[in-house]
Amino acid sequence: MTPLLTIVVLVLVAIAIWQMTKIFELSQIRASNSQVASETDNKYNGYLMFAFLIFLYGITIFSFWKYSKVLLPEAASEHGGGYDSLMALSFVIIFIVQTLTQFLLHYFAYKYRGDRERKALFYADNDRLEFIWTIIPVIVLAGLILWGLYAWTNIMDINDEDDPLTIELYAQQFNWTARYAGNDNVLGDANVRMIDIDNANILGLDNADPNAADDIIVKELHLPVGRKVNFKMRSQDVLHSAYMPHFRAQMNCVPGMITQFSFTPTITTAEMRQNPDVVDKVKRVNGIRAEKAAKGMDNTDPWEFDYILLCNKICGKSHYNMQMKIIVETEEEYNAWIASQQTFGKSMASVQ
């Protein structure tokens, strides 16, 4: 009922505005009703162009001031720094180019506004000018693309050098499961057809594969700082995307195939919680939560920063809630944690 009433009210308001503009138009009839723009019209539009330029600059400055703080904190992975530099350089170039071109566009529209006395200059072409405005974008874009390709090849070079940890990230509607490869650092074979919920084989591991017995299945990702991790992604049902924003990492999870991504975490969770940007963000979020708590609203527990694995593909109705906590810790803390986890072999034995 309420939506219908709202629509009726909106339609009535629209009709009222339309009628009022008609009355306004009728009251504005002047002696000369020429369709040709007058000097006043031209001047008015020239100034409006200038006003729009000021509006553009104003909103740019406002956005920097208001939204810079929602950006991610410093990258917590080895490759993240290079990735951020590339991003920052692209932003700087776009910013300079847009500031200049917007100025030129609007200034000239104002300067050469309609004037009956002025005649347009016939200027056929200028090779040198055309050369300059072609070669500068060519060099800048080629530079960006080459640097981008170089960064991409570096990031996507997934190999077994430096003794990487092998971890599987398993996506399904709507949660993540992680599987550590265990002492042998080799993941056991798995297939969605071998999933046996009754026997707690939630990832479909192959019981007959000796590599599977020492695999460790967990719901929280622990990573030792400074050790390279090779992630192998699988999906059970639809397209998902493993997104770890603080590590500048993202990879699609595709049913029927294994995709991979590799990175080395460089900052522990405890260290990241001390980062000034993170401290500031936590303070702001908890301020909002405290306000909500005062009004008696839900979900107002104070928040503590944690790294996070998110799904970055709209994979269904609970997509927004598909996440897993990531804890980056020292080698000793990691070893103690992994030692306290049960292996797949043991959990199978306890079920049967």
For Cu ion, give the closer residue by CB, 106 or 240: 240
Mask for 216-255, x = binds Cu ion (CB under 5 A): ------------------------x---------------
Judged by beta carbon, residue 167 or residue 322, the one nearer Cu ion is: 322
Which parts of the chain are beta strand (E)?
165-172, 175-180, 216-218, 221-224, 229-235, 240-244, 249-253, 259-263, 307-311, 323-329
Residue 238 carries which side chain, given as an amino acid letter?
V
Q: What is the DSSP letter of 226?
A: T
Judged by beta carbon, residue 187 or residue 322, the one nearer Cu ion is: 322
Site string for Cu ion, 264-303 (x = CB under 5 A): ----------------------------------------
Closest CB to Cu ion among 165 and 326?
Answer: 326
The site map against Cu ion for 305-344 (x = CB under 5 A) is: ------x---x------x----------------------
Helix (H) or strand (E) holding 27: helix 2-27
Q: In what order do the strands lie in the sheet with 175-180?
A: 216-218, 175-180, 165-172, 229-235, 259-263
Q: CA dist 319 to 169, 301, 313, Å?
A: 16, 22, 8
Question: What's the angle, vertex CA 311, arms to CA 78 and CA 252, rounded to 5?
Answer: 70
Instruction: Report d(CA 238, CA 192) in Å as an integer.
Output: 13
Least gap, CB of 240 to Cu ion (angstroms): 4
- Which CB atom, from 232 or from 240, has the smaller least distance to Cu ion? 240
79 vs 232, which CB is nearer to Cu ion? 232
Closest approach, Cβ 282 to Cu ion, in A, equals 26
Residue 188 Cβ vs Cu ion, minimum distance, rounded to whole Å: 24
* Residue ranges binding Cu ion (CB under 5 A): 240, 311, 315, 322
